[in-house]
Structure 1
Amino acid sequence: MKKVKYLLLLILSLSATQKIAAQKDTIAQQRQARKMLRQGNELYENEKFTDASVAYQKALGENSNYDKANYNLGNALYQNKNFKEAIPQYELTTKTATNPATKAAAFHNIGNAMMESKNYQGAVDAFKNGLRSNPNDDETRYNLAVAQKLLDKEKKENKDDKKKDKNDDKNDDKKDKNKDPKDDPNGDKDKDQKNDKNKDKEQDKKQNSDKNKEQDKKQPKPKEGKMSPQQVKQLLESLNNEEKKTQKKMNAKKAKGKKIKQEKDW
């Protein structure tokens, strides 16, 4: 009986020792993870995004549930233009973040990455989710409008291309049906008649060209360096349109990528 009690005490003692050791390992891993995160942040601030990515990955190796490391890894990948790789990191943040502002920022950055990848439907969905988390975010609202316009344009172009392809197929079918040179005994005659008509047209064009040259000689030519009022109006309209296009591009670039923020852990 005493032996049984002794064995039970020994088992309990060993179990408690293992739990204490496991807790110590966990605390040590968390400290190491925080250390690697701080290193990553320093590298990020110095625009060494590749090295920062490595540091954040090491932090996640010590603590796979480290939200700040996940989010910052996404930012480092984004800054290195690895947009497709950055998206899963932001998605993890949207699932684990308890702060609505952090969740909204992650959705915003997903939208930016989707825009860079020309996935406009994905960008629209991400920006909408960002506004659900933070309805007062004007940056996300602006980016949503830009993404929606690009998506509408893409859909219209795809629709026009399909319609054009369909019409081309119909025209090809008609040509194939009407074509049968072997069964047409008058084919050579028609060809000769067409050639004669083309020659007559060329002669008429030449005569008209000679007449126009004679008329041009008689008419006074405008002085070089001067523009007619209509040409000036067209030039001003063209410059105005180019200025509007440039302004739109600048506004779109200003909106993109503006939301990236680092999760500090000092």
Structure 2
Amino acid sequence: MKFTYKIILFLLFITVNVTAQIDTLKLQREARALLREGNKLYNKQKFGDAAIAYRKALGKDSKYDKASYNYGNALYQDKNYKESIAQYELTTKTSKDKFAKAEAYHNIGNALMEQKQYQQAVEAYKNSLRNNPKDDETRYNLAVAQKEAKKQQQNQKNNKDKNKKDQKNKDKNKEQDKKNDKNKDQKDGNDKDKKDQKKDPKDDQNQNKNKPNDQKKDQQNKPKPQQGKMSPEQIKQLLESLNNEEKKTQKKMNAKKAKGRKVKQEKDW
């Protein structure tokens, strides 16, 4: 019984493995068919459609290096440089063929060059040459990338120095403006003090002294009321009235004198 049980388990194991292998082979065949479809679309420069076919192929077989590499090429041609690099990197990790790795690194360098990431492109081209030292095209691209990287670094340094200089000048101008404002405030205060010191106290006295003259002058300039003219008859009446008043006054004065005099009594001899 035990022997029979072991045979049954062994047969089940073989069956499962065979079924799995059949399924794997089926997926690989489907992946290859999708790869061929993608290649046809790629040759027709239908890069977007080709990318879809390659992606489906990878869905059937995730370790399909050719599908991954071609997918990267389709993305590159469609100017999706960042996504293409991810596919090329997958090839460099999974492929066992040095020439395939060299081509993947070479294309990574090209995609980085398109994004003006020149120093990273230099490293990619170096990795490509490590896998295929005889590739003259990669060597040429490496020289171009090194030249552009050096130029980019110099431009970045110049821009950095310029920004520092501009900031320094800005701070210097700001500090100078503060000094100018401070000096201006001090100058205004000094001018005010000097003006107060130069002022003669006699000016106030003269100013006050001139005020009565001004008032007198105003009184002189003030129009006087004009006296009314009298007729000869009015003058005569006025004189007569004054004469009468004078007589009355004289009479009153004499009366006052008489009252004030003592009566002299005659002596009796």
* TM-score, scaled to structure 1: 0.65
Amino acid at match of 1:82: N
Pairing partner for 2:162 from 154, 159, 164: 164
Please give the residue correspondences for 1:53-72 in structure 2 after superposition, counting only pairs within 5 Å: 53-72=51-70
Q: Distance in 1 between matches of 2:164 and 2:91?
A: 45
Distance in 2 (alpha carbons) for counterparts of 1:109 and 1:48: 20
Matches of residues 94-113 of structure 1 in structure 2 within 5 Å? 94-113=92-111
Greater Cα shift, 74-83 or 57-66: 57-66
Matches within 5 A, 1:89-238: 89-179=87-177, 180-181=180-181, 183-184=183-184, 185-186=186-187
Aligned residues: 185
Letter in 2 for 1:112: N
Once residues 11 and 127 of structure 2 are traced to their aligned partners in structure 1, the CA distance between those partners, rounded to angstroms, is: 51
> Shift of residue 182 of structure 1?
5.0
How far, CA to CA, are the matches of 1:43 and 1:105 in structure 2? 21
Instruction: Give runs of aligned pairs for residues 49-88 of structure 1, distance below 5 A.
Output: 49-88=47-86
1:186, distance to aligned residue in structure 2 (A):
4.7
- Identity across matched positions, percent: 54
What is the rounded CA distance, in whole Å, between the counterparts of 1:17 and 1:97 in structure 2? 31
Distance 2:117 2:61 in 1: 32
2:6 to 3, 8, 27: 8
- The CA distance in 1 between the partners of 2:14 and 2:125, in whole Å, is 50
| Distance (whole Å) between structure 2 residues aligned to residue 23 and residue 100 of structure 1 | 28
Q: What residue is the counterpart of 2:15 in the other structure?
A: 17
* Structure 2: runs of 5 or more not aligned: 189-269
Greater alpha carbon shift after TM alignment, 129-138 vs 62-71: 129-138
Residues 56-112 of structure 1: CA deviation (Å, up to 9, x unaligned): 111111111111101000000000000000011111222233333222211111100
Q: Which protein, 1 or 2, shows the higher relative CO under an 8 Å CA cutoff with sep ≥ 6?
A: 1
**Match of 1:11, as an amino acid?**
L
Q: What amino acid does structure 1 have at the position aligned with 2:129? A: L
Inter-partner Cα distance in structure 1 for 2:113 and 2:176:
48
For 2:42, the equivalent position in structure 1 comes to 44
Structure whose alpha-carbon radius of gyration is higher: 2
Task: Report the RMSD for the aligned CA atoms in angstroms.
Answer: 1.7
Q: What is the letter of the counterpart of residue 111 of structure 1?
A: G
Distance of 2:13 and 2:100 partners within structure 1: 40
Segments of 4+ moved more than 4 angstroms: none
Give distance in 2, aligned partners of 1:19 and 1:12.
11
User: Residue 92 of structure 2 aligns to which amino acid in structure 1?
Assistant: T
C-alpha distance after superposition, 1:7-42 (max 9, x if no partner): 433333322221221111111111111111111111
Aligned-partner residue type, residue 111 of structure 2: A
Aligned with 2:29 (options 6, 28, 31): 31
**Gapped runs of 5+ residues in structure 1?**
188-266
Q: What SS class does the counterpart of residue 153 from structure 2 fall into?
A: helix
Distance 1:174 1:51 in 2: 60
TM-score (norm 2): 0.64
User: In structure 2, what residue type is equivalent to 1:181?
Assistant: D
Task: Give 1:6 deviation, angstroms.
Answer: 4.2
CA-to-aligned-CA distance 1:222-266 (integer Å, 9 cap, x gap): xxxxxxxxxxxxxxxxxxxxxxxxxxxxxxxxxxxxxxxxxxxxx
Sort the Cα spacing of 1:175 and 1:141 in 2 relative to 1 into closer, same or farther, 3 A.
same
